[in-house]
Every structure is written in structure tokens, then in C-alpha cells.
Structure 1
Amino acid sequence: MTLRAATPDDLDAIMAIEHRSFPTDAWSPELMAAELASPHGRYLVDELEGTIIGYGGVRALQGGADADIQTIALDAAHRGSGRGRALLRALLDAAEERGAREVFLEVRADNPSAEGLYRSEGFEEIGRRPRYYQPDDVDAIVMRLVLTHRRGDGDATSADAEKEATA
């Protein structure tokens, strides 16, 4: 597994995964390019044999108290293999490096595999945003992780959650 910082040259590969993963509500190339260029974000790509198969991003101001996981996506063939978990953990590390004490995210209520991954890493539901994901009218589950409660890499996690994770 190779995780590395995303660059503007990765935009086309990221957008291809974005459209396959989120066909009805994909980000625009302009929005993703702005995210990649932002000094407040940290975007990573997951490469396998020189091909980008996943990406993720976190927004965390240097010295800020909180951070937001912006997005995580993997090509379908690589979901459930632990790569989403590794990407999430790397993004949490980046948030910690910038001083964040809490990390927030939204997950589609119709994506129990991703929700299971986040819960297995210590995220807790703190609210819902009705009909947040459009045009599908799907609720967003708002989740929070207090970084001081974060599990270490060596802690046991649910094998089922690992197997089912599709983030």
C-alpha cells in the first residue's frame, strides 16, 4: 500500500474515482482542484502498482481545535481490504499534526459499511442532517471523534467491520 500526498496532477484520476463512487452527487473538478490547492487541507491518494485507486482529504487549520474529513473514496474492487481504514487513519494523523482535538464528518445514512468503519475507529453519531445528500434525499449522519479517545493502531477492531468497510 502506498499513500502519498495528492498533487494537482492527480486530479483526473481522483475525479474518475469520485464519479464512480458518487455518481449522483460527485464534486466538480473545480471544487476538488480548490481542495487540493488549499493550505488548510491535506489530501492523500492510495496507489497500487502506479495506479491511483483511492483518495481522501481532511480540512484542518493549523492550531485549530477541530478538523473535518472532507471525503474518502476507493474504487469498488479495493473496498473491504483495509485500505479505507489506512486512509482514514492517515487523515486522522494529519489532523492531529495540525493540533486538532476533534474530527467531524458526514456519512450517507444509506452507507452502513462506511458508517461501520467510522464507528470502529471511535466516531460517534452526534446528529443527522435530513435530506443532506441531493438529489437522492439521503440523510447525513454527523459523526465526531475526540482524538484523545482514538484507538491505537494495535487495538483490536471488529473483523466484520474491517471486512465490510467500503469507505
Structure 2
Amino acid sequence: MTPVTAVRRATVDDVEDITALEAEAFPDPWSENLVAQGADGSLPTVSYLVVERDGTFAGYAVVSVVDVDAELQRVAVLPGLRRTGVASALLDAARAHAAREGAGRLLLEVREDNAAAQSFYARHGFTELGRRPGYYRDGTTALVLSTPVTMAP
């Protein structure tokens, strides 16, 4: 499999791809309007990152930075490219973005019943910070995970 070729800030040209993957990847997808606002930079604190493989859209991440906390709000990868390093590239880019913006830690929520995602995040240095019972619409508990963010030397 060809390695990831680029992770970059999203633009309005990416809205259609992001919205389509959003609808496929999440039970409560964000609207095209919200995605467009994020991609055009009009949402304060929020950045959309897009990953490409051979110049073609492969996935995206959404990260918000407020003061010393950054939150990874979304990570989604095209189904045929999962487990190929695309999510890791997005996570690395989100962590680097958070560090550049002055965050000290990166937070996220993951479903308590999503063992694969928990394992992925554990491999990337995340540890459990807390729990949010009934966080998801279906009543599932969210695990709040955290990892330190530091600027590279």
C-alpha cells in the first residue's frame, strides 16, 4: 500500500468528500453546512485536517484547541484504507497542530464498546481520564482519553 502522501488543512473543495465520509462513518453525521464552516475556517478554535494518498482524499480529522486543551472531535478514514496508517497520520497531524496552537494535552471521547478504537488510541499514548455515562444517543458510555502534547525539539 502506498504511504500517506499529505496531511493538510481542509478547504471548501474538500466539503463534499468530508460530508460523504461523515455520513458513512458516524450515526449522527454533522451537516454539510457545519462541515463547510469548519473547512473554510469560520468556526473559532476548530480545524479540519485532510489526509491524501496519491493526491486523493483518504480521510479527515477535526481538532479544536481552546487554551491548553485540544479535543480530537472526529477521525474518519475511507473504508478501503483503514488499517493502512491513514488514521495514524491524521492523529500525528492533529497532535502537531495542537502543539503549535499551545495545547498541553489532546483529549477525545471513544465509545466504551469500541475495543478497536481504544486499542488504537492506547498504542498512540492515550490513557483514560474519565467516563461520561450515557454520552452517546443510544446510552453508551464514553471513555474520555488524554495524551500529553509537546512541541518537537
TM-score (norm 1): 0.79
Judge which range, 33-42 or 82-91, deviates more. Answer: 33-42
What are the within-5 Å matches in structure 2 for residues 1-167 of structure 1? 1=4, 2-22=6-26, 24-36=27-39, 37=41, 38-61=43-66, 64-134=67-137, 136-148=138-150
SS at the partner of 1:138? Answer: coil
Q: Which amino acid in the other structure matches residue 102 of structure 1?
A: R
Q: Which amino acid in the other structure matches residue 70 of structure 1?
A: Q
2:63·2:73 contact (CA, 8 Å) conserved in 1?
A: yes
Whole-angstrom CA distance in 1 between matches of 2:140 and 2:85: 26
Query: Number of aligned pairs?
Result: 146
Whole-angstrom CA distance in 2 between matches of 1:59 and 1:143: 15
TM-score (norm 2): 0.86
- Identity across matched positions, percent: 40
Whole-angstrom CA distance in 1 between matches of 2:147 and 2:80: 28
**Structure 2 unaligned spans of 5+:** none
Q: Which amino acid in the other structure matches residue 28 of structure 2?
A: D
SS at the partner of 1:9? Answer: helix
Whole-angstrom CA distance in 1 between matches of 2:105 and 2:44: 19
Please report the RMSD computed on the Cα atoms of aligned residues, expressed in angstroms.
Answer: 1.8
Structure with more contact order per residue of length (Cα contacts < 8 Å, sep ≥ 6): 1
